[in-house]
Amino acid sequence: MSVEDGPEGLGGALAADSRTAPAVVGAGALLSVLTGWLVAGLGGALAGVVVVAAWLVVSPIVVLALGYVLLAAVLPENAPLATLGLAQAPMVVVFAGSVLDADRPIRTLWQGVVALTALSLVVAGSIATFGTRWQVAAVLVAVVAVAGYGLHRYTVATLEVTDEY
């Protein structure tokens, strides 16, 4: 059983085998509760609890995406760069944990760096454009959903799982 397997193929710590990634991703998820509390108070801590719950039932990449969406929602207005860096620390740990057991860790690392950079740019651009956290979170959800569906369709087409191209 791999990290990505589980009930209905969702993955998560409850479906993981004895590899290292679930422990590291779990540490990042737990760290999100602490950093959430430090940067956003009770709302941030609750967002961290949601990340921990997600870590139990879904794959690390979903935990990472959810963590970024919640991060955009709970960050204080006009947060300083140090606060942004502190808030992103748990997500970097979650990403590092997901890279540990990858079949091709260098390729996965570069793909993740590109994805994290793109998500960070979307968050920064949304904050500059809208300024309110919930609008930023809504934009981030839309971007992640469209990108995820696009990657899914690309994978289906390249593996020729369907006749639709």
In the chain, what percentage of residues exceed pLDDT 90?
A: 6
- Domain of 79, in residue numbers: 7-158
75 is a domain residue: yes
Has this prediction a pTM greater than 0.95?
no
56 is a domain residue: yes
Confidence check: pLDDT of 2 > 70: no
Confidence check: pLDDT of 16 > 80: no
Span 140-148, mean pLDDT?
81
Q: CB of 16 within 8 A of CB of 58?
A: no
Higher-confidence residue of 45 and 127: namely 45
68 is a domain residue: yes
Higher-confidence residue of 100 and 5: namely 100
164 is a domain residue: no
109 is a domain residue: yes
pLDDT given for residue 14 in this prediction: 54
39 is a domain residue: yes
Q: CB of 99 within 8 A of CB of 28?
A: no
121 is a domain residue: yes
pLDDT given for residue 17 in this prediction: 52
35 is a domain residue: yes
Instruction: Please give the Cα distance from 1 to 98 (Å, whole number).
Output: 16
Report the number of distinct structural domains present in the chain.
Answer: 1
Residue-wise burial string across 101-135, b where 16 or more C-beta atoms lie within 10 A, e elsewhere: bbeeeeebeeebeebbeebeebbeebbeeeeebee
Confidence check: pLDDT of 46 > 90: yes
pLDDT given for residue 141 in this prediction: 79
pLDDT given for residue 42 in this prediction: 92
Helices 81-100, 105-129: inter-axial angle, 10-degree rounding: 150
